Amino acid sequence: MNRSRFWRVLRWGALASLLVGGVAVANGCVAFGKQATGARKARMTRSPQWQDGHFENPQPIVNHVWPTITGMFNISDHATPVEPPPAVTIDPRHFETPPASGLRITWMGHASTLIEIDGERILTDPMWSERAGPFSWIGPTRYYPPPIALEALPHIDAVVISHDHYDHLDMGTIVAMKDWDTKFFVPLGIGAHLEYWGVAKEKIVELDWWESRSVGDVEIVCTPARHASGRVLIDNYATLWSSWSLIGSKHRVFFSGDTGLFPGMAHIGERYGPFDVTLLETGQYHAGWPDWHMGPEQAVIAHQMLKGKKMFPIHWGLLTLAFHGWTEPIERVLAYAGPRQVPVIDPRPGQSVEPDNVSQFVPWWPKLAFETAEQAPVISSGVPLPSEHQAPIPALLTP
């Protein structure tokens, strides 16, 4: 190839790369969402959670830089499964028969669940995309396909979103659902993202902590959480984060979203408990970010603070977002819950369970080495626990 032709090929190659990169960035920009303005922003600023131009936790979240850095060099050999976990492929006809007990939960993986409660169907933090992130070509990849296609789901009465991080607010899934005859329940500010992606304003129910609306006979309450928000580095804390309490005519369900342990869980338990089941995040934790996620042992404590009857661990077994082994969360939950007589529901992804009639589960995950609570404790900062919840905490978990 002569020199002239070489430079011509190089220039066209560079131009093509820029065009491809530009398309990727443009798509990413759409996935970044939209910041709130106008009346929506004005309402946000009136929230008790709004301080100094952003939302804030009553108990500030702490980040420990050095443990996080060292953790990067101590990633578990089992952080990602060698083989896809044995998820259940759901037959759409399964949902034609309502739950006999009135309450049925189907775990779709991570924080995505389908909750059938007292005649209503509620979908939590739906994430059907291949990756969690703004781009289709990079980011944490799911271990297995969704147990059921979105279009094969039964009619959904409500979708609840806990916050706007990519593994909980997935643009691809929202766009696919935007024309559904359903209501989207979101914390303050997240409605701007949904409208930007094509969800009609009248379908969006945007709430502050302790506010609620009803779907059928189920009251959907936006309850506090201890976390953060943001889809790009410059929009941290720009939207609110929450847990959700679902209060039916006969059943009550708590969905944590993402949260660190915080004293307000006892308040939620007093106000809306006892809960028939608590869906609690138990994975993607580390000592470097102890207030962002609870970790297994503190999730059990949270279940007790919430006055839960049965605990359903979520936020594990689909994506690698931390340094621990992928089976470690459930192993540590069971180890901590057992002596404290906390019943744990641990179905395979795609498997439906009725908490009222749940039977003993057989572990479906492989037996792998993992770090115990003694080896790698996760201790949230600034959490003075009620006296009735201090006895179960071993010395290693006492700040």
Q: Give one DSSP letter per residue of 171-211, joined into a string.
A: HHHHHHHTTSS-EEEEETTTHHHHHHTT--GGGEEEE-TT-
Residue-range definition of the domain harbouring residue 231: 38-397
pLDDT score at 386: 56
Residue 388 lies in a domain: yes
Cα separation, 118 vs 138, whole angstroms: 40
Q: In terms of Cα–Cα distance, which of 364, 357, 355, 374 is closest to 327?
A: 364
- For 325-379, write each residue's pLDDT tens digit: 999 999 999 999 999 999 999 999 999 999 999 877 889 999 999 999 999 999 9
C-beta separation of 306 from 352 below 8 A: no
**Coil, helix or strand at residue 378:** coil
Q: In the structure encoding, which two tokens stand for residue 352, read together?
A: 């439906």
**177 is a domain residue:** yes
Average pLDDT over residues 366-394: 79
Q: What type of residue is 225?
A: A
Predicted pLDDT of residue 197: 98
User: What does the pLDDT read at residue 388?
Assistant: 54
Q: Please determine, for residue 41, whether its predicted confidence score (pLDDT) is greater than 90.
A: yes
Q: Hey, what are 314's tokens?
A: 């979520």
376, part of any domain: yes
Residue 249 lies in a domain: yes
Confidence of residue 389 (pLDDT cuts 50, 70, 90): low
pTM metric for this prediction: 0.91
Tell which wins on pLDDT, 88 or 383: 88
Q: What is the mean pLDDT of residues 123-132?
A: 98
Place of tokens 């002569």: 2
Residue 7: what pLDDT?
Answer: 40
Return d(Cα 214, Cα 274) in angstroms, integer: 19
pLDDT of 385: 64
Cis peptide before 274 (omega within 30 of 0): yes
> Mind listing the pLDDT tens digit for each residue in 198-243?
999 999 999 999 999 999 999 999 999 999 999 998 889 999 999 9
Examine residue 393 and state whether it is found in any structural domain, yes or no.
yes
- Give the rounded percent of residues in the chain with a pLDDT score beyond 70: 89
Looking at residue 252, what is its pLDDT?
A: 98
CB 173 within 8 A of CB 150: yes
**Burial call 299-310: b when 16+ CB within 10 Å, e when fewer:** bbbbbbbbbbbb
Q: Is residue 18 part of a domain?
A: no
Main-chain phi, psi angles of 174, to 5 degrees: -60, -45
The answer to the question of residue 62 being in a domain is yes
Q: Is residue 11 part of a domain?
A: no
Q: Is the pLDDT of residue 107 over 90?
A: yes
Place of tokens 């795609």: 350
Number of domains in the chain: 1
Cβ–Cβ under 8 Å, residues 247 and 277:
no
Q: What is the pLDDT of residues 234-279, one digit of tens each?
A: 889 999 999 999 999 999 999 999 999 999 999 999 999 999 999 9
Q: Is the pLDDT of residue 149 over 80?
A: yes
Which strands sit side by side in the sheet containing 252-255, from one edge to the other?
Answer: 212-215, 218-223, 243-247, 252-255, 275-281, 308-314
Q: Is 259 within 8 Å of 293 (Cβ atoms)?
A: yes
Contact yes or no for 170/134 (Cβ under 8 A): no
Residue 12 has pLDDT above 70, yes or no: no
**What is the average pLDDT across 142-148?**
98
Mean pLDDT of 134-157: 96
pLDDT(27) > 80: no
Q: For 299-325, what is each residue's pLDDT tens digit? A: 999 999 999 999 999 999 999 999 999
User: What's the pLDDT score for residue 387?
Assistant: 59
pLDDT at position 66: 86
Q: What is the residue whose two structure tokens read 């039977």?
A: 359
- CATH number of the domain where residue 337 is located: 3.60.15.10
State percent of the chain over pLDDT 90.
82
